[in-house]
Amino acid sequence: MLGSLTYIVALIMDALSALLTYSMQKGSVNIHALFYTTCLMRLRQ
């Protein structure tokens, strides 16, 4: 169970990284804030 959860989190982080790269090209700030918040939540666990 824990292994699959870690795998899912890794997939989500990969997706967020892709979104972050895309948003940098678009100049969007909202995705940056979302990414930053997600990182904080992950570190807090």
Sequence-ordered list of residues with C-beta below 8 angstroms from that of 13, at least 6 positions apart, any chain: 38, 42
User: Cα 43 from chain centroid?
Assistant: 12
Q: What is the pTM of this model?
A: 0.47
Cα separation, 25 vs 28, whole angstroms: 8
Per-residue pLDDT tens digits of the chain, which is 45 residues long: 678 988 888 888 888 888 877 777 766 667 677 778 887 888 876
What CA–CA distance (Å, rounded) separates 41 from 24? Answer: 22
Classify the C-alpha dihedral 3-34-18-15 as positive or negative: positive
